[in-house]
């Protein structure tokens, strides 16, 4: 509650009506949750009274920042109540993410105690492992909406207006309770290889750094990138927390199998030894690819009027993504590695038993050499 009160006072001193209204609404929500219905109602009434005379400001709260030339929106607001998939993280990553959530959730106590800590988090790692999902998860756990600014879109054409757009985005994030989420953060650094003039780009990077530096302490910012190696040291230093989100381990894959199977059942989610064997096989596949494999198998389920995901469909999906060699022999070896018996392979693929035996025997001979 202290946070909201402090922000309302700041809004008043700076004559920032948008800020006052936004944080008063938040205060009313919080009081209602905590059972102080009378005060909450009273605040809501004040907000309503304040709105009509100031329709322009009420509008401004709804109007998002636009690109000056194209008039396109440069941010997207994702409310916190959106239903999301559960994100599965390794224990080390989970610990770091939870720490960040704790800091954000206790920001007013920290501020009152005089502890100044910037709430800036950089998520990096290969695509499809959950960076964007983690940002949504943090939004859910902190109750702060995400203001998503995709830098690839912002940097796309005119660097001249990039600096202006950055300013508008940071100004907007300052005036409403939110998490500013800069996705595809490397776009700024990447523009260096493009046709843009180096000096112009330097100015944009400087403007980004200035915006970050002049952020008020209460602003929560998360950035995500697939190309951490492209980021300047100066940018790295601006982030108090940096977390690499890499490929999941076997335990995480096992957990994902249950989530991705829902609402259907599958052999891999009901039989523990099969689940474990499958998780080993799926190591090295990104969660995003794994999800696609399950989604495709589910489509077949629905079209085939079945309630159970076919193991064969899932194995085919993994084989498609993971194994380069697409020969029949490689396929038989792949299924055998997963633990399927020769008879089971014969049944599921229709390949003759003798052929299967020969394929598997050649490998044993090669290994024996
Ligand atoms: N760690 C994870 N746990 C559960 N699902 C995941 C995870 N990582 C990715 N996914 C799935 O893959 C999709 C794409 O992941 P995303 O978060 O966009 O990855 P990134 O931003 O790192 O490229 C998500 O919508 C989610 O369904
Ligand atoms: Mg992403």
pLDDT of residue 56: 46
Residue 257 CA, ligand 1 centroid: distance in Å: 13
- Find out whether the beta carbon of 17 lies less than 6 Å from any atom of ligand 1: no
Sign of the Cα torsion 44, 47, 52, 55 reads negative
pTM of the model: 0.80
**Residue 199 and residue 347 in one domain:** no
- For residue 183, which atom of ligand 1 is closest to its CA? 21
**Residue 228 and residue 86 in one domain:** yes
Residue 132 CA, ligand 1 centroid: distance in Å: 7
Instruction: For residues 303 and 310, give the distance between their C-alpha atoms in angstroms, rounded to a whole number.
Output: 12
Instruction: Starting from the CA of residue 184, give the closest ligand.
Output: 2
pLDDT of residue 125: 95
- Find out whether the beta carbon of 127 lies less than 6 Å from any atom of ligand 1: yes
**Which neighbouring-strand residues pair with 119?**
220
**Residue 218 and residue 306 in one domain:** no
Averaged pLDDT in 10-residue chunks for the chain of 369 residues: 87 84 89 92 84 50 70 78 79 96 90 86 96 94 88 64 84 87 81 62 82 86 91 87 95 92 81 85 93 92 86 86 87 87 89 93 60
Question: In the chain, how long is the greatest CA-to-CA distance?
Answer: 87
Six token digits for residue 68: 């000056």
Instruction: Starting from the CA of residue 86, give the closest ligand.
Output: 1
DSSP 231: S
pLDDT of residue 194: 56
**Residue 42 and residue 119 in one domain:** no
- Find out whether the beta carbon of 150 lies less than 6 Å from any atom of ligand 1: no
- Find out whether the beta carbon of 107 lies less than 6 Å from any atom of ligand 1: no
Among residues 166, 167, 96, the alpha carbon closest in space to that of 125 is found at 96
- Find out whether the beta carbon of 131 lies less than 6 Å from any atom of ligand 1: yes
Indicate the residue among 244, 263, 286 that finishes a domain: 244
**Residue 83 and residue 207 in one domain:** yes
- Find out whether the beta carbon of 85 lies less than 6 Å from any atom of ligand 1: yes
- Find out whether the beta carbon of 285 lies less than 6 Å from any atom of ligand 1: no
The structural domain count of the chain equals 3
Find tokens 């080993």 and name the residue: 280
Residue 73 CA, ligand 2 centroid: distance in Å: 19
Indicate the residue among 244, 265, 288 that finishes a domain: 244
Rg of the Cα trace of the chain?
26
Find tokens 């025997």 and name the residue: 361
**Residue 129 and residue 153 in one domain:** yes
**Residue 84 and residue 25 in one domain:** no
b/e map of 298-330 (b: 16 or more CB within 10 Å)? beebeeeeeeebbbbbbbbbbbeeeeeeeeebe
3-state secondary structure of 336: helix
Mutate to test the pocket of ligand 1, among 96, 130, 137 (most ligand atoms within 8 A of CB): 130
Nearest CA to ligand 1 atom 9: 130
Instruction: For residues 338 and 321, give the distance between their C-alpha atoms in angstroms, rounded to a whole number.
Output: 15
Instruction: Starting from the CA of residue 87, give the closest ligand.
Output: 1
**Residue 271 and residue 355 in one domain:** yes
Instruction: For residues 268 and 308, give the distance between their C-alpha atoms in angstroms, rounded to a whole number.
Output: 11
Instruction: Starting from the CA of residue 129, give the closest ligand.
Output: 1
pLDDT of residue 186: 81
Query: Using an 8 Å Cβ cutoff, are 256 and 216 in contact?
Result: no
Mutate to test the pocket of ligand 1, among 288, 292, 293, 321 (most ligand atoms within 8 A of CB): 288
**Residue 99 and residue 225 in one domain:** yes
DSSP 78: E
Query: Using an 8 Å Cβ cutoff, are 333 and 359 in contact?
Result: yes
**Residue 116 and residue 215 in one domain:** yes
Q: Which domain holds residue 268?
A: 250-368
Residues 6+ apart with CB under 8 A from 90: 246, 248, 249, 252
Residue 151 CA, ligand 1 centroid: distance in Å: 19
**Residue 96 and residue 155 in one domain:** yes
DSSP line for 87-126: ----HHHHHHHHHHHHHHHTHHHHHHTT----EEEEEE-S
**Residue 151 and residue 16 in one domain:** no
Which stretch of DSSP H or E encloses residue 74? Answer: none
CATH of residue 94's domain is 3.40.50.300
Indicate the residue among 61, 84, 110 that finishes a domain: 61
């Amino acid at each position: 509650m202290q946070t909201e009160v402090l922000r309302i006072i700041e809004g008043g001193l700076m004559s920032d009506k948008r800020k006052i209204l936004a944080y008063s609404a938040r205060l009313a929500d919080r009081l209602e949750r905590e059972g102080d219905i009378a005060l909450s109602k009273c605040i809501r009434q004040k907000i309503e009274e304040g709105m009509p005379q100031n329709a322009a400001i009420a509008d401004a709260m709804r109007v998002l920042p636009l690109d000056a030339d194209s008039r396109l929106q440069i941010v997207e607001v994702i409310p916190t109540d959106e239903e999301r998939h559960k994100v599965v993280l390794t224990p080390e990553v989970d610990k770091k993410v939870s720490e960040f959530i704790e800091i954000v959730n206790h920001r007013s106590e920290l501020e009152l105690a005089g502890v100044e800590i910037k709430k800036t988090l950089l998520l990096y790692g290969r695509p499809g492992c959950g960076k964007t999902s983690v940002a949504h998860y943090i939004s859910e756990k902190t109750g702060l909406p995400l203001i998503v600014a995709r830098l690839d879109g912002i940097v796309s054409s005119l660097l001249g207006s990039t600096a202006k757009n950055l300013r508008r985005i940071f100004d907007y994030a300052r005036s409403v309770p939110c998490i500013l989420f800069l996705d595809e953060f490397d776009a700024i650094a990447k523009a260096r290889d493009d046709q843009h003039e180096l000096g112009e780009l330097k100015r944009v990077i400087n403007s980004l750094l200035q915006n970050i530096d002049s952020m008020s302490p209460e602003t929560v910012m998360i950035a995500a990138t697939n190309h951490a190696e492209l980021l300047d040291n100066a940018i790295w230093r601006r982030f108090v927390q940096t977390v690499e989100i890499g490929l999941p381990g076997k335990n995480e894959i096992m957990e994902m199998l249950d989530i991705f199977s829902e609402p259907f059942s599958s052999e891999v989610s009901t039989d523990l030894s099969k689940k474990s064997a499958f998780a080993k096989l799926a190591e090295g596949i990104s969660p995003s690819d794994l999800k696609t494999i399950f989604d495709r198998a589910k489509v077949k389920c629905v079209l085939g009027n079945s309630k159970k995901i076919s193991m064969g469909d899932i194995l085919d999906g993994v084989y498609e993504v993971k194994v380069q060699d697409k020969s029949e022999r490689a396929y038989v070896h792949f299924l055998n590695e997963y633990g399927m018996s020769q008879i089971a392979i014969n049944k599921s693929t229709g390949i003759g038993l003798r052929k299967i035996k020969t394929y598997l025997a050649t490998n044993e001979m090669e290994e024996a050499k």
